[in-house]
Chains A and B, each alone.
Chain A
Protein backbone atom coordinates (compact mmCIF):
# COMPACT_ATOMS: atom_id res chain seq x y z
CA UNK A 1 0.00 0.00 0.00
CA UNK A 2 1.16 3.46 -0.87
CA UNK A 3 1.39 5.67 2.16
CA UNK A 4 3.16 8.59 0.52
CA UNK A 5 3.18 9.77 -3.04
CA UNK A 6 4.84 12.85 -4.47
CA UNK A 7 4.01 13.79 -8.05
CA UNK A 8 6.24 16.08 -10.06
CA UNK A 9 7.17 18.31 -7.13
CA UNK A 10 8.84 21.62 -7.92
CA UNK A 11 9.94 24.36 -5.56
CA UNK A 12 11.41 27.47 -7.09
CA UNK A 13 12.76 30.38 -5.09
CA UNK A 14 13.26 33.80 -6.71
CA UNK A 15 12.68 34.76 -10.31
CA UNK A 16 14.62 35.38 -13.50
CA UNK A 17 18.37 35.37 -13.01
CA UNK A 18 18.23 34.69 -9.28
CA UNK A 19 15.92 31.71 -9.75
CA UNK A 20 16.85 28.70 -7.64
CA UNK A 21 15.25 25.34 -8.31
CA UNK A 22 15.31 23.68 -4.91
CA UNK A 23 13.17 20.81 -6.18
CA UNK A 24 13.02 20.06 -9.85
CA UNK A 25 10.41 17.44 -10.68
CA UNK A 26 10.50 14.93 -7.84
CA UNK A 27 8.43 11.77 -8.16
CA UNK A 28 8.39 9.44 -5.23
CA UNK A 29 6.35 6.61 -3.74
CA UNK A 30 6.77 5.11 -0.29
CA UNK A 31 5.15 1.85 0.78
CA UNK A 32 3.64 1.28 4.20
CA UNK A 33 6.26 0.07 6.67
CA UNK A 34 9.21 1.13 4.56
CA UNK A 35 12.25 2.86 6.08
CA UNK A 36 13.53 5.26 3.44
CA UNK A 37 16.61 7.45 3.69
CA UNK A 38 17.08 10.49 1.50
CA UNK A 39 20.73 11.44 1.16
CA UNK A 40 22.24 14.50 -0.40
CA UNK A 41 24.78 17.22 0.28
CA UNK A 42 23.64 20.47 1.85
CA UNK A 43 21.77 22.53 -0.71
CA UNK A 44 20.64 19.49 -2.66
CA UNK A 45 17.02 20.14 -1.75
CA UNK A 46 16.53 17.29 0.71
CA UNK A 47 15.27 19.47 3.58
CA UNK A 48 12.89 21.30 1.26
CA UNK A 49 11.55 17.95 0.12
CA UNK A 50 10.98 16.75 3.67
CA UNK A 51 9.24 20.00 4.64
CA UNK A 52 6.91 19.76 1.66
CA UNK A 53 6.15 16.09 2.29
CA UNK A 54 5.32 17.00 5.89
CA UNK A 55 3.04 19.85 4.87
CA UNK A 56 5.28 22.45 6.53
CA UNK A 57 5.90 24.20 3.21
CA UNK A 58 4.04 24.46 -0.08
CA UNK A 59 5.45 23.33 -3.42
CA UNK A 60 5.47 25.73 -6.37
CA UNK A 61 3.81 22.97 -8.35
CA UNK A 62 3.09 19.29 -7.97
CA UNK A 63 1.22 17.24 -5.41
CA UNK A 64 1.83 15.41 -2.16
CA UNK A 65 -0.53 12.62 -1.18
CA UNK A 66 -0.23 11.24 2.35
CA UNK A 67 -2.38 8.22 3.21
CA UNK A 68 -4.75 9.03 0.34
CA UNK A 69 -5.09 12.71 1.29
CA UNK A 70 -3.93 15.40 -1.12
CA UNK A 71 -2.17 18.02 1.00
CA UNK A 72 -2.40 20.77 -1.63
CA UNK A 73 -6.20 20.77 -1.39
CA UNK A 74 -6.20 21.57 2.32
CA UNK A 75 -6.54 24.84 4.20
CA UNK A 76 -3.95 25.81 6.81
CA UNK A 77 -6.22 24.75 9.64
CA UNK A 78 -6.98 21.38 8.05
CA UNK A 79 -3.27 20.89 7.46
CA UNK A 80 -2.45 21.56 11.12
CA UNK A 81 -4.95 18.97 12.30
CA UNK A 82 -3.96 16.45 9.61
CA UNK A 83 -0.27 16.83 10.52
CA UNK A 84 -0.97 16.32 14.21
CA UNK A 85 -2.88 13.10 13.53
CA UNK A 86 -0.92 11.58 10.67
CA UNK A 87 2.60 12.94 10.42
CA UNK A 88 5.24 12.51 13.11
CA UNK A 89 8.36 14.64 13.14
CA UNK A 90 11.79 14.07 14.65
CA UNK A 91 14.12 17.05 14.31
CA UNK A 92 17.84 17.48 14.76
CA UNK A 93 17.30 19.78 17.76
CA UNK A 94 14.73 17.44 19.46
CA UNK A 95 12.13 20.25 19.98
CA UNK A 96 10.88 18.93 23.33
CA UNK A 97 8.76 21.21 25.52
CA UNK A 98 11.15 22.29 28.33
CA UNK A 99 8.46 22.79 31.02
CA UNK A 100 6.95 19.33 30.62
CA UNK A 101 8.49 16.12 31.91
CA UNK A 102 9.30 13.18 29.65
CA UNK A 103 5.94 11.40 30.02
CA UNK A 104 4.00 14.63 29.43
CA UNK A 105 6.07 15.38 26.35
CA UNK A 106 5.43 11.94 24.90
CA UNK A 107 1.63 12.00 25.33
CA UNK A 108 1.21 15.67 24.40
CA UNK A 109 0.19 15.17 20.72
CA UNK A 110 -2.36 12.48 21.70
CA UNK A 111 -3.80 14.77 24.39
CA UNK A 112 -3.96 17.70 21.98
CA UNK A 113 -6.14 15.57 19.77
CA UNK A 114 -8.50 14.89 22.71
CA UNK A 115 -7.96 11.16 22.48
CA UNK A 116 -7.58 8.54 25.16
CA UNK A 117 -3.96 7.57 25.75
CA UNK A 118 -3.31 3.93 24.93
CA UNK A 119 -1.18 3.24 27.99
CA UNK A 120 -0.16 -0.25 26.87
CA UNK A 121 1.11 0.92 23.51
CA UNK A 122 2.91 3.98 24.88
CA UNK A 123 4.56 1.88 27.59
CA UNK A 124 5.77 -0.59 24.99
CA UNK A 125 7.40 2.25 23.05
CA UNK A 126 8.96 3.60 26.22
CA UNK A 127 10.41 0.20 27.08
CA UNK A 128 11.73 -0.40 23.58
CA UNK A 129 13.47 2.97 23.59
CA UNK A 130 14.86 2.45 27.10
CA UNK A 131 13.53 5.63 28.74
CA UNK A 132 11.41 4.03 31.46
CA UNK A 133 13.55 5.41 34.30
CA UNK A 134 13.49 8.97 32.91
CA UNK A 135 9.73 9.56 32.74
CA UNK A 136 9.67 12.06 35.65
CA UNK A 137 12.66 14.05 34.43
CA UNK A 138 12.59 17.34 32.59
CA UNK A 139 14.26 17.36 29.15
CA UNK A 140 17.05 19.61 30.45
CA UNK A 141 18.20 16.78 32.74
CA UNK A 142 18.71 14.39 29.82
CA UNK A 143 21.62 13.80 27.47
CA UNK A 144 21.24 14.50 23.74
CA UNK A 145 20.74 10.85 22.88
CA UNK A 146 18.08 10.47 25.59
CA UNK A 147 16.27 13.61 24.42
CA UNK A 148 16.20 12.32 20.86
CA UNK A 149 14.79 9.00 22.08
CA UNK A 150 12.03 10.91 23.87
CA UNK A 151 11.34 12.82 20.64
CA UNK A 152 11.07 9.51 18.76
CA UNK A 153 8.70 8.13 21.41
CA UNK A 154 6.57 11.28 21.14
CA UNK A 155 6.41 10.92 17.36
CA UNK A 156 5.45 7.24 17.59
CA UNK A 157 2.85 7.60 20.36
CA UNK A 158 0.33 9.25 18.02
CA UNK A 159 0.64 6.29 15.59
CA UNK A 160 1.30 8.57 12.63
CA UNK A 161 0.84 7.30 9.08
CA UNK A 162 4.38 8.44 8.39
CA UNK A 163 7.31 9.55 10.51
CA UNK A 164 9.66 12.17 9.10
CA UNK A 165 13.14 12.54 10.56
CA UNK A 166 15.35 15.49 9.68
CA UNK A 167 19.01 14.67 10.43
CA UNK A 168 17.92 12.93 13.65
CA UNK A 169 21.47 12.31 14.80
CA UNK A 170 23.01 15.55 13.56
CA UNK A 171 23.80 16.70 17.11
CA UNK A 172 24.98 13.37 18.49
CA UNK A 173 28.38 11.71 18.59
CA UNK A 174 28.87 8.70 16.33
CA UNK A 175 28.42 6.07 19.00
CA UNK A 176 25.19 7.59 20.37
CA UNK A 177 23.99 8.05 16.78
CA UNK A 178 24.41 4.34 16.19
CA UNK A 179 22.38 3.56 19.31
CA UNK A 180 19.57 5.98 18.48
CA UNK A 181 19.36 4.85 14.85
CA UNK A 182 19.49 1.21 15.83
CA UNK A 183 16.53 1.76 18.14
CA UNK A 184 14.72 3.71 15.42
CA UNK A 185 15.24 0.83 13.03
CA UNK A 186 14.18 -1.84 15.50
CA UNK A 187 11.05 0.12 16.55
CA UNK A 188 10.11 0.79 12.94
CA UNK A 189 10.15 -2.94 12.24
CA UNK A 190 8.29 -3.75 15.42
CA UNK A 191 5.47 -1.23 15.00
CA UNK A 192 5.42 -1.34 11.15
CA UNK A 193 6.11 2.36 11.16
CA UNK A 194 6.80 4.08 7.84
CA UNK A 195 9.85 6.34 8.17
CA UNK A 196 11.41 8.88 5.83
CA UNK A 197 14.74 10.15 7.12
CA UNK A 198 17.02 12.71 5.56
CA UNK A 199 20.74 12.81 6.21
CA UNK A 200 23.96 13.87 4.55
CA UNK A 201 25.76 10.91 6.08
CA UNK A 202 25.81 7.85 3.83
CA UNK A 203 26.78 5.53 6.63
CA UNK A 204 23.67 6.56 8.54
CA UNK A 205 21.56 6.20 5.41
CA UNK A 206 22.61 2.57 5.23
CA UNK A 207 20.37 1.79 8.18
CA UNK A 208 17.37 2.25 5.90
CA UNK A 209 15.71 -0.33 3.65
CA UNK A 210 15.91 2.01 0.71
CA UNK A 211 18.20 4.90 -0.13
CA UNK A 212 17.29 7.80 -2.39
CA UNK A 213 20.04 10.10 -3.50
CA UNK A 214 19.09 13.67 -4.30
CA UNK A 215 21.21 16.19 -6.20
CA UNK A 216 20.23 19.65 -7.41
CA UNK A 217 16.58 19.00 -6.66
CA UNK A 218 16.41 15.72 -8.56
CA UNK A 219 16.43 12.11 -7.44
CA UNK A 220 19.54 10.63 -9.06
CA UNK A 221 19.45 7.14 -7.62
CA UNK A 222 17.01 4.86 -5.85
CA UNK A 223 18.38 1.66 -4.41
CA UNK A 224 16.44 -0.66 -2.22
CA UNK A 225 16.62 -4.16 -0.89
CA UNK A 226 15.08 -6.78 -3.08
Chain B
Protein backbone atom coordinates (compact mmCIF):
# COMPACT_ATOMS: atom_id res chain seq x y z
CA UNK B 1 0.00 0.00 0.00
CA UNK B 2 2.65 2.46 1.13
CA UNK B 3 4.77 1.49 -1.82
CA UNK B 4 1.95 2.38 -4.24
CA UNK B 5 1.50 5.77 -2.61
CA UNK B 6 5.25 6.36 -2.76
CA UNK B 7 5.26 5.43 -6.43
CA UNK B 8 2.38 7.81 -7.20
CA UNK B 9 4.10 10.65 -5.36
CA UNK B 10 7.36 10.02 -7.20
CA UNK B 11 5.52 9.97 -10.53
CA UNK B 12 3.80 13.27 -9.71
CA UNK B 13 7.04 14.94 -8.66
CA UNK B 14 8.86 13.69 -11.74
CA UNK B 15 6.15 14.84 -14.10
CA UNK B 16 6.05 18.20 -12.28
CA UNK B 17 9.78 18.63 -12.79
CA UNK B 18 9.41 17.57 -16.43
CA UNK B 19 6.62 20.02 -17.21
CA UNK B 20 8.33 22.83 -15.32
CA UNK B 21 11.58 22.43 -17.23
CA UNK B 22 9.63 22.01 -20.47
CA UNK B 23 7.83 25.34 -20.07
CA UNK B 24 10.93 27.05 -18.70
CA UNK B 25 12.90 26.01 -21.77
CA UNK B 26 10.06 27.08 -24.04
CA UNK B 27 9.77 30.50 -22.42
CA UNK B 28 13.54 31.00 -22.50
CA UNK B 29 13.58 30.15 -26.19
CA UNK B 30 10.73 32.54 -26.89
CA UNK B 31 12.34 35.39 -24.94
CA UNK B 32 15.62 34.79 -26.76
CA UNK B 33 13.80 34.93 -30.05
CA UNK B 34 12.05 38.16 -29.05
CA UNK B 35 15.37 39.69 -27.94
CA UNK B 36 16.83 38.73 -31.31
CA UNK B 37 13.86 40.27 -33.10
CA UNK B 38 14.29 43.54 -31.22
CA UNK B 39 18.05 43.55 -31.86
CA UNK B 40 17.33 43.18 -35.57
CA UNK B 41 14.71 45.93 -35.36
CA UNK B 42 17.23 48.28 -33.69
CA UNK B 43 19.67 47.62 -36.52
CA UNK B 44 16.85 48.27 -39.01
CA UNK B 45 17.12 44.77 -40.48
CA UNK B 46 13.89 43.17 -39.29
CA UNK B 47 12.59 40.55 -41.73
CA UNK B 48 9.70 38.15 -41.22
CA UNK B 49 11.37 34.84 -40.32
CA UNK B 50 8.16 32.83 -40.58
CA UNK B 51 4.55 33.22 -41.65
CA UNK B 52 2.28 30.91 -39.62
CA UNK B 53 -0.64 30.81 -37.20
CA UNK B 54 1.80 30.96 -34.30
CA UNK B 55 1.57 33.95 -31.92
CA UNK B 56 5.24 34.73 -32.56
CA UNK B 57 4.60 35.21 -36.24
CA UNK B 58 1.71 37.62 -35.54
CA UNK B 59 3.95 39.56 -33.16
CA UNK B 60 6.69 39.76 -35.74
CA UNK B 61 4.19 41.06 -38.27
CA UNK B 62 2.95 43.80 -35.92
CA UNK B 63 6.53 44.79 -35.12
CA UNK B 64 7.35 45.03 -38.81
CA UNK B 65 4.27 47.19 -39.42
CA UNK B 66 5.17 49.47 -36.53
CA UNK B 67 8.72 49.94 -37.79
CA UNK B 68 7.54 50.59 -41.33
CA UNK B 69 5.07 53.25 -40.21
CA UNK B 70 7.56 55.03 -37.97
CA UNK B 71 10.10 54.93 -40.79
CA UNK B 72 7.50 56.48 -43.07
CA UNK B 73 6.69 59.20 -40.54
CA UNK B 74 10.39 60.05 -40.25
CA UNK B 75 10.70 60.18 -44.01
CA UNK B 76 7.68 62.47 -44.33
CA UNK B 77 9.15 64.81 -41.78
CA UNK B 78 12.45 64.87 -43.64
CA UNK B 79 10.65 65.65 -46.89
CA UNK B 80 8.70 68.52 -45.34
CA UNK B 81 11.93 69.92 -43.97
CA UNK B 82 13.49 69.75 -47.40
CA UNK B 83 10.54 71.59 -48.97
CA UNK B 84 10.91 74.44 -46.47
CA UNK B 85 14.64 74.62 -46.99
CA UNK B 86 14.20 74.67 -50.74
CA UNK B 87 11.74 77.54 -50.36
CA UNK B 88 14.18 79.53 -48.22
CA UNK B 89 16.95 78.91 -50.65
CA UNK B 90 14.73 79.95 -53.61
CA UNK B 91 13.64 83.15 -51.90
CA UNK B 92 17.23 83.96 -51.07
CA UNK B 93 18.38 83.38 -54.64
CA UNK B 94 15.59 85.35 -56.26
CA UNK B 95 16.29 88.37 -54.07
CA UNK B 96 20.00 88.50 -54.87
CA UNK B 97 19.60 90.19 -58.27
CA UNK B 98 17.15 92.94 -57.17
CA UNK B 99 19.43 93.71 -54.23
CA UNK B 100 22.50 94.10 -56.37
CA UNK B 101 20.47 96.29 -58.76
CA UNK B 102 19.38 98.44 -55.81
CA UNK B 103 23.02 98.83 -54.82
CA UNK B 104 24.17 99.78 -58.29
CA UNK B 105 21.41 102.35 -58.87
CA UNK B 106 21.87 103.76 -55.39
CA UNK B 107 25.55 104.26 -56.10
CA UNK B 108 24.81 105.87 -59.48
CA UNK B 109 22.31 108.17 -57.80
CA UNK B 110 24.84 109.26 -55.17
CA UNK B 111 27.34 110.06 -57.94
CA UNK B 112 25.05 112.08 -60.21
CA UNK B 113 22.94 113.87 -57.64
CA UNK B 114 24.06 116.57 -55.21
CA UNK B 115 20.82 116.63 -53.26
CA UNK B 116 19.57 114.21 -50.63
CA UNK B 117 23.05 112.71 -50.07
CA UNK B 118 22.18 111.78 -46.49
CA UNK B 119 19.10 109.82 -47.49
CA UNK B 120 20.94 108.07 -50.31
CA UNK B 121 23.67 107.04 -47.88
CA UNK B 122 21.07 105.55 -45.55
CA UNK B 123 19.46 103.65 -48.41
CA UNK B 124 22.86 102.27 -49.42
CA UNK B 125 23.68 101.27 -45.87
CA UNK B 126 20.38 99.46 -45.46
CA UNK B 127 20.87 97.74 -48.82
CA UNK B 128 24.27 96.51 -47.67
CA UNK B 129 22.67 95.14 -44.54
CA UNK B 130 20.00 93.36 -46.54
CA UNK B 131 22.66 92.02 -48.87
CA UNK B 132 24.69 90.54 -46.00
CA UNK B 133 21.57 89.08 -44.42
CA UNK B 134 20.42 87.37 -47.60
CA UNK B 135 23.89 86.06 -48.37
CA UNK B 136 24.21 84.62 -44.88
CA UNK B 137 20.80 83.00 -45.20
CA UNK B 138 21.83 81.44 -48.51
CA UNK B 139 24.94 80.00 -46.86
CA UNK B 140 22.97 78.75 -43.88
CA UNK B 141 20.26 77.11 -45.92
CA UNK B 142 22.83 75.51 -48.18
CA UNK B 143 24.70 74.12 -45.22
CA UNK B 144 21.58 72.93 -43.42
CA UNK B 145 20.10 71.28 -46.48
CA UNK B 146 23.42 69.64 -47.16
CA UNK B 147 23.78 71.17 -50.63
CA UNK B 148 27.23 72.21 -49.59
CA UNK B 149 28.67 69.52 -47.41
CA UNK B 150 31.59 70.34 -45.21
CA UNK B 151 34.57 68.31 -46.40
CA UNK B 152 37.10 68.05 -43.64
CA UNK B 153 40.65 67.53 -44.76
CA UNK B 154 44.17 68.22 -43.62
CA UNK B 155 44.53 72.01 -43.79
CA UNK B 156 47.34 74.36 -42.80
CA UNK B 157 46.22 77.11 -40.48
CA UNK B 158 48.78 79.51 -41.89
CA UNK B 159 47.10 79.53 -45.29
CA UNK B 160 43.68 80.28 -43.82
CA UNK B 161 45.03 83.09 -41.66
CA UNK B 162 46.77 84.66 -44.63
CA UNK B 163 43.59 84.68 -46.65
CA UNK B 164 41.78 86.33 -43.72
CA UNK B 165 44.44 88.98 -43.49
CA UNK B 166 44.03 89.70 -47.17
CA UNK B 167 40.24 89.85 -46.84
CA UNK B 168 40.37 92.47 -44.08
CA UNK B 169 43.29 94.54 -45.37
CA UNK B 170 41.09 97.49 -46.32
CA UNK B 171 38.84 97.47 -43.26
CA UNK B 172 41.83 97.34 -40.93
CA UNK B 173 43.51 100.27 -42.67
CA UNK B 174 40.30 102.33 -42.56
CA UNK B 175 40.10 102.03 -38.78
CA UNK B 176 43.86 102.05 -38.26
CA UNK B 177 43.67 98.76 -36.38
CA UNK B 178 46.70 96.51 -36.06
CA UNK B 179 45.79 92.97 -37.14
CA UNK B 180 48.63 90.71 -36.07
CA UNK B 181 48.95 87.04 -36.91
CA UNK B 182 51.24 84.53 -35.30
CA UNK B 183 53.46 82.22 -37.29
CA UNK B 184 52.35 78.60 -37.14
CA UNK B 185 52.95 75.34 -38.96
CA UNK B 186 50.06 73.46 -37.32
CA UNK B 187 47.53 71.48 -39.32
CA UNK B 188 43.83 70.93 -38.55
CA UNK B 189 41.08 68.80 -40.04
CA UNK B 190 38.57 71.16 -41.54
CA UNK B 191 37.08 72.54 -44.74
CA UNK B 192 39.26 75.56 -45.42
CA UNK B 193 36.62 77.51 -47.37
CA UNK B 194 33.99 77.27 -44.66
CA UNK B 195 36.46 77.73 -41.83
CA UNK B 196 37.78 80.93 -43.39
CA UNK B 197 34.15 82.08 -43.56
CA UNK B 198 33.63 81.32 -39.85
CA UNK B 199 36.92 82.85 -38.72
CA UNK B 200 36.22 85.81 -41.03
CA UNK B 201 32.90 86.50 -39.30
CA UNK B 202 34.61 86.53 -35.92
CA UNK B 203 37.46 88.76 -37.12
CA UNK B 204 34.91 91.08 -38.75
CA UNK B 205 33.14 91.45 -35.41
CA UNK B 206 36.43 92.02 -33.61
CA UNK B 207 37.28 94.86 -36.00
CA UNK B 208 33.77 96.32 -35.82
CA UNK B 209 33.68 96.46 -32.04
CA UNK B 210 37.21 97.73 -31.55
CA UNK B 211 37.90 101.47 -31.50
CA UNK B 212 40.11 103.12 -34.14
CA UNK B 213 43.77 102.48 -33.40
CA UNK B 214 43.04 99.28 -31.47
CA UNK B 215 44.52 95.81 -31.78
CA UNK B 216 43.21 92.50 -33.08
CA UNK B 217 45.47 89.53 -32.56
CA UNK B 218 45.24 85.96 -33.81
CA UNK B 219 47.09 83.34 -31.78
CA UNK B 220 47.32 79.59 -32.28
CA UNK B 221 47.96 76.98 -29.63
CA UNK B 222 48.21 73.19 -29.82
CA UNK B 223 46.25 70.80 -27.57
CA UNK B 224 46.28 66.99 -27.69
CA UNK B 225 43.08 66.68 -29.69
CA UNK B 226 42.37 70.22 -30.79
CA UNK B 227 44.11 73.29 -32.09
CA UNK B 228 42.96 76.52 -30.53
CA UNK B 229 42.75 79.64 -32.67
CA UNK B 230 42.32 82.72 -30.50
CA UNK B 231 40.96 85.95 -31.94
CA UNK B 232 41.74 88.59 -29.34
CA UNK B 233 40.56 92.19 -29.49
CA UNK B 234 40.79 95.13 -27.10
CA UNK B 235 37.36 96.42 -28.03
CA UNK B 236 34.16 97.05 -26.12
CA UNK B 237 33.80 93.53 -24.68
CA UNK B 238 30.68 91.58 -23.80
CA UNK B 239 28.71 91.45 -20.57
CA UNK B 240 29.06 88.06 -18.86
CA UNK B 241 25.32 87.38 -18.89
CA UNK B 242 25.24 88.06 -22.58
CA UNK B 243 27.94 85.62 -23.65
CA UNK B 244 25.69 82.54 -24.07
CA UNK B 245 23.25 84.59 -26.15
CA UNK B 246 25.56 86.06 -28.74
CA UNK B 247 25.56 82.87 -30.83
CA UNK B 248 21.78 82.90 -31.10
CA UNK B 249 20.21 83.54 -34.47
CA UNK B 250 19.41 87.24 -34.97
CA UNK B 251 20.59 88.13 -31.48
CA UNK B 252 21.93 91.66 -31.18
CA UNK B 253 23.18 93.23 -28.02
CA UNK B 254 21.30 96.36 -26.94
CA UNK B 255 24.63 98.03 -26.30
CA UNK B 256 25.56 97.87 -29.99
CA UNK B 257 22.16 98.84 -31.40
CA UNK B 258 23.77 101.84 -33.13
CA UNK B 259 26.17 99.60 -35.09
CA UNK B 260 25.09 98.05 -38.38
CA UNK B 261 24.59 94.31 -38.29
CA UNK B 262 21.90 91.65 -38.35
CA UNK B 263 23.09 89.13 -35.79
CA UNK B 264 23.78 86.18 -38.01
CA UNK B 265 27.57 86.13 -38.35
CA UNK B 266 28.35 84.38 -35.07
CA UNK B 267 25.45 81.98 -35.47
CA UNK B 268 26.81 80.94 -38.86
CA UNK B 269 30.35 80.72 -37.47
CA UNK B 270 29.27 78.40 -34.69
CA UNK B 271 27.27 76.20 -37.07
CA UNK B 272 30.27 75.87 -39.37
CA UNK B 273 32.70 75.03 -36.57
CA UNK B 274 30.33 72.50 -35.00
CA UNK B 275 29.77 70.82 -38.35
CA UNK B 276 33.52 70.19 -38.38
CA UNK B 277 33.55 68.61 -34.90
CA UNK B 278 34.96 71.70 -33.26
CA UNK B 279 33.58 74.32 -30.90
CA UNK B 280 33.87 77.99 -29.93
CA UNK B 281 34.49 79.47 -26.50
CA UNK B 282 34.38 83.12 -25.47
CA UNK B 283 36.01 85.02 -22.65
CA UNK B 284 35.35 88.71 -22.34
CA UNK B 285 35.45 91.68 -20.02
CA UNK B 286 33.24 94.69 -20.58
CA UNK B 287 35.43 97.57 -21.75
CA UNK B 288 38.59 95.44 -21.89
CA UNK B 289 38.00 93.30 -24.96
CA UNK B 290 37.01 89.80 -26.01
CA UNK B 291 38.73 86.56 -26.89
CA UNK B 292 36.99 84.12 -29.21
CA UNK B 293 38.65 80.71 -29.09
CA UNK B 294 37.92 78.41 -32.01
CA UNK B 295 38.81 74.76 -31.35
CA UNK B 296 39.25 72.54 -34.39
CA UNK B 297 40.27 68.88 -34.40
CA UNK B 298 44.00 68.51 -34.89
CA UNK B 299 45.17 66.71 -38.03
CA UNK B 300 46.73 63.38 -37.08
CA UNK B 301 50.20 62.80 -38.39
CA UNK B 302 50.31 59.91 -40.83
On chain B, the residues within 8 Å of A178 by CB distance are: 223, 226, 228, 295
Chain A residue at smallest Cβ distance from B281: A206
Q: Which of B266-288 contact A (CB under 8 A)?
A: 274, 277-279, 281-283
Q: Which B residues from 219 to 244 make CB contacts under 8 A with A?
A: 223-226, 228, 241, 243-244
CB distance from A175 to the nearest CB of B (A): 6
B44 to chain A, nearest CB (A): 13
Q: What is the minimal beta-carbon distance from B134 to any residue of chain A, in angstroms?
A: 21
Number of A-B residue pairs having CB atoms within 8 Å of each other in the complex? 50
Q: Tell whether A226 pairs with B225 under 8 Å between CB atoms, given A186-B277, A186-B279, A203-B283.
A: no
Residue among A178, A183, A189 having the largest count of chain B Cβ atoms under 10 Å:
A178
Check A223–B244 contact: CB distance below 8 A. yes
A113 at the interface (CB under 8 A from B): no
A182 at the interface (CB under 8 A from B): yes
Q: Which residues of A contact B93 (CB under 8 A)?
A: none
A190 to B274, CA, bound (A): 10
Assess whether A43 is interfacial by the CB under 8 Å rule.
no
Q: Are B39 and A116 in contact (CB under 8 A)?
A: yes
The stretch from B82-90, B117-125, B245-253 touching chain A is: B245-253
**Known: A206-B281, A207-B281. Contact between A183 and B244, CB under 8 A?**
no
Interface residues of A in 108-159 (CB under 8 A from B): 116, 130, 145
Question: Cα distance A210–B241 when bound, in Å?
Answer: 12
B225 with A206: CB separation less than 8 A: no
- Inter-chain contact B244/A225, CB cutoff 8 Å: yes
Contact status B244-A224, CB under 8 Å: yes
| Chain A residues whose CB sits within 8 angstroms of the CB of B247 once the complex forms | 225
B244 partner, pick from A145, A186, A190, A206, beta carbons under 8 A: A206
Q: When each residue 156-191 of chain A gets 1 if its CB lies under 8 Å from chain B and 0 otherwise, what string results? A: 000000000000000000011011001101100110
B279 and A182 contact, CB distance less than 8 A: yes
Q: Give complex CA distance A206, B290 in Å.
A: 14
With most chain B CB atoms within 10 A of its CB, the pick from A203, A207, A226 is A226
- Chain A, residue nearest B241 (CB): A223
A178–B274 alpha-carbon span in the complex (Å)? 16
Q: Which of A77-132 contact B (CB under 8 A)?
A: 116, 130
User: Which residue of chain B has the shortest Cβ distance to A143 in the bound complex?
Assistant: B224
B223 in contact with A225 (CB, 8 Å):
no
Q: Chain B residue with minimal CB distance to A189?
A: B274
Specify the chain A residue showing the minimal Cβ separation from B42.
A118
Closest to B226 in A: A182
Nearest B residue to A224 by beta-carbon distance?
B244
The answer to whether A66 has its CB under 8 Å from any CB of chain B is no
A190 to B279, CA, bound (A): 13
Q: How far is the CB of A149 from chain B (nearest CB, A)?
A: 9
Q: Which residues of A contact B228 (CB under 8 A)?
A: 178
Is A211 engaged at the interface, CB distance under 8 Å to the other chain? yes
Q: Are B243 and A225 in contact (CB under 8 A)?
A: no
CB-CB < 8 A to A186: which residues of B?
277-279, 297
> In the complex the two chains form, is B226's CB within 8 Å of A225's CB?
no
Question: What chain A residues lie within 8 Å of B251 (beta carbons)?
Answer: 226
Residues A130 and B248 in contact, CB atoms below 8 Å apart: no
Would A130 and B244 count as touching, CB distance under 8 A? no
Known: A130-B224, A183-B225, A226-B245. 18 other contacts (CB 8 A): A116-B39, A176-B224, A178-B295, A179-B225, A179-B226, A182-B226, A185-B279, A186-B277, A186-B278, A186-B279, A189-B274, A190-B277, A203-B281, A207-B281, A221-B241, A223-B245, A224-B244, A226-B249
Give me 27 A-to-B residue pairs in the complex whose CB atoms sit less than 8 angstroms apart, sorted by A's number.
Answer: A130-B224, A145-B224, A178-B226, A179-B223, A179-B225, A179-B226, A182-B225, A182-B279, A182-B295, A186-B277, A186-B278, A186-B279, A189-B274, A203-B281, A206-B244, A206-B282, A210-B244, A221-B241, A223-B245, A224-B244, A225-B244, A225-B245, A225-B247, A225-B248, A226-B245, A226-B248, A226-B251
Which A-B residue pairs are the 6 nearest by beta carbons? A226-B248, A223-B244, A179-B224, A179-B223, A179-B225, A186-B277
